């Protein structure tokens, strides 16, 4: 089995090595990761300039740094390394739950794998100012891997690990609230600038990703690529039929 590892925090992120270190117990591992941080780039791909890669062995792994987005890294990695079975992305420094999935570069790397007909799993963990305790997370990453490898029908999965996990939980995406905020500030010259950031969300729904992580459970959310609102399509076809 071949596992390709990507992320959006960049090739030198400690979360990337933590994930690769687990993956090597399951398969042959290669890393294709952005040369600089690409967080919140979503599923952007580079189309107006060529991208290149440089071999950068790191932590004993065969690794390549790419001057592109997370999705670029996976597209290029799958092209360069034949017969990849699974793409893992992360472990992201910061959770990717609820509506944050729309701009997550971590999830986009896993999503690129699913688009290519492969399997993709994204891993994220919150950071409360310091570096996550990856040794503490490791047994739970192993458990998630053991679980998901035996569920081949799951082509895209979003996993979020709390800082001190106490168990695993199947979840759905929390979509009721959006935590994105614009926060004004001042630069050293007194000029106003703006941070696009997130604010804590309160009152989360049971069974969601955010709910699980708040309770110290590893949130495992199976996702799909089809964004169609099928209920609305069915209603519209019946109520507002369109004639060619
Ligand atoms: Mn990131």
Distance from residue 203's CA to the centre of ligand 1 (Å): 25
Convert the pLDDT of each residue in 96-134 to its tens digit.
999 999 999 999 999 999 999 999 999 999 998 689 999
The whole-number average pLDDT for the span 147-159 is 97
**pLDDT confidence of residue 202:** 80
**pLDDT confidence of residue 178:** 85
Distance from residue 8's CA to the centre of ligand 1 (Å): 5
Domains, the chain, ranges and CATH? Answer: 2-174+204-239 (3.40.1210.10)
Distance from residue 9's CA to the centre of ligand 1 (Å): 4
Distance from residue 190's CA to the centre of ligand 1 (Å): 29
Task: Using the structure block, give the residue that is written with the tokens 């079975």.
Answer: 85
pTM (2 decimals)?
Answer: 0.95
Distance from residue 239's CA to the centre of ligand 1 (Å): 44
Distance from residue 85's CA to the centre of ligand 1 (Å): 23
Distance from residue 80's CA to the centre of ligand 1 (Å): 24
**pLDDT confidence of residue 33:** 98
Residue 74: which pLDDT band, with cuts at 50, 70 and 90? very high
Distance from residue 105's CA to the centre of ligand 1 (Å): 7
Our measurement of the distance from residue 35's CA atom to the centroid of its chain's CA atoms, rounded to an integer in Å, reads 17
Residue 244: which pLDDT band, with cuts at 50, 70 and 90? confident
Convert the pLDDT of each residue in 158-212 to its tens digit.
999 999 999 999 999 999 888 889 999 999 999 999 999 888 888 789 999 999 9
Distance from residue 93's CA to the centre of ligand 1 (Å): 6
Distance from residue 50's CA to the centre of ligand 1 (Å): 23
């Amino acid at each position: 089995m071949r596992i390709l590892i990507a992320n959006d925090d960049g090739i030198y992120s400690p979360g990337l090595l933590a994930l690769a270190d687990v993956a090597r117990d399951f398969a042959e591992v290669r890393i294709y990761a952005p040369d600089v941080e690409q967080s919140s780039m979503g599923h952007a791909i580079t189309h107006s300039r060529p991208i290149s890669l440089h071999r950068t062995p790191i932590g004993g792994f065969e690794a390549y740094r790419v001057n592109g987005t997370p999705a670029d890294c996976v597209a290029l990695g799958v092209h360069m390394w034949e017969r990849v079975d699974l793409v893992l992305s992360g472990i992201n420094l910061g959770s990717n739950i609820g509506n944050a999935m729309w701009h997550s570069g971590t999830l986009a790397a896993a999503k690129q794998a699913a688009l290519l007909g492969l399997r993709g799993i994204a891993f994220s963990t919150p950071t409360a100012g310091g570096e996550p305790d990856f040794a503490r997370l490791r047994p739970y990453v192993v458990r998630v891997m053991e679980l998901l490898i035996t569920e081949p029908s799951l082509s895209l999965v979003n996993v979020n690990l709390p800082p001190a996990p106490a168990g695993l939980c199947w979840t759905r995406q929390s979509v009721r609230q959006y935590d994105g905020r614009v926060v004004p500030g001042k630069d050293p010259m007194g000029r106003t600038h703006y941070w696009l950031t997130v604010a804590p969300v309160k009152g989360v729904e049971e069974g969601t990703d955010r709910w699980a992580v708040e309770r110290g459970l590893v949130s495992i959310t199976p996702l799909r690529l089809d964004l169609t609102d099928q209920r609305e399509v069915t209603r519209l076809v019946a109520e507002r039929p369109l004639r060619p």
